[in-house]
Amino acid sequence: MASVLLTGGTGALGRAVEPALLEHGHTVRILSRHEQPAGREPGTWARGDLHTGDGIDAAVDGVETIIHCATSNGRGDIVGTENLIAAARKASNPHLIYVSIVGVDSIPMFYYRAKFEAEQRVETSALPWTILRATQFHKLVFALFAAQRRLPLVFAPDLLFQPIDVRDVAVHLAELAAAGPAARVPDIGGPEILSAEEIARLTLESLGVRRRVVPLRFPGRMFAALKSGNNLVPGNRAGKRTFAEFAAEQVTAGP
């Protein structure tokens, strides 16, 4: 079992990854810009800032594996990844696992281009590495339509999605930490492919809201790439939890 530094440990994915790692017998240290919360055991928290590099050398010291879940907009992803790599190379060359998104190399979005560049930094880092791409998380696509619930109409792009639950991704990451460096591993997606209109209806139903869902078509290269299915992994439906199951959970958790 590995000693793991988890970046982005307080985010949606990171909060699911930590218990999955512990269940697999790994020890976990969370990297955060914030002070250690009360009640955490010594050594399980490291304060540091990926964007400035402050505290990163100490955070990576002594770990065997880094799971890089932290993300930000634009070039922040690249800078943060570069700072993490620099600190890891000065340490004991731990195994670096980078979490990315299906289609970052083929869907022309600014955020995706930055993720793809960060992938390339990992590949050329001289560290032992693994890159896992996953489809969009349930929470993201749920939020897209939950945010429209007070409008008279709900708009849904004429696209397909294959949302995956962060808990399913977390289990996969824990297994990768135990398996060791594997370079680009197969992309993973959720258990079902749904239209945005179907996702919108399931979201509204779970919130007890009745609205007309209006499908929209958009011009441009980005939507053409999405329409071609570059965001899907039909051959590797690794997720177990369906979107309907996730949406039903939000009744008590809130949108």
pLDDT at 151: 84
> What pLDDT is attached to residue 2?
83
Note the pLDDT of residue 255: 44
Q: What is the pTM of this model?
A: 0.94
Cα distance between residue 162 and residue 44, in whole Å:
34
Domains and CATH numbers, the chain: 3-253 (3.40.50.720)
Question: What is the total residue count of the chain?
Answer: 255
Nearest to 148 by CA among 231, 211, 71: 211
Q: Are 161 and 199 within 8 A, CB to CB?
A: yes
- Tokens representing 109 are 């979005």
Task: For tokens 């190399």, name the residue.
Answer: 105
* Residue 73, both tokens: 């907009």
Residues 6+ apart with CB under 8 A from 162: 135, 136, 189, 190, 192, 193, 194, 231, 232, 233, 234, 237
Q: What angle do CA 198, 202, 208 make, to 5 degrees?
A: 145
* pLDDT given at position 74: 73
Residue 40: the pLDDT is 92
Q: What is the mean pLDDT of each run of 10 residues along the chain (255 residues)?
A: 92 96 96 92 95 97 97 89 97 96 97 96 98 97 91 91 98 96 98 96 90 86 95 96 94 53
DSSP code for 35: P
- pLDDT of 251 reads 67
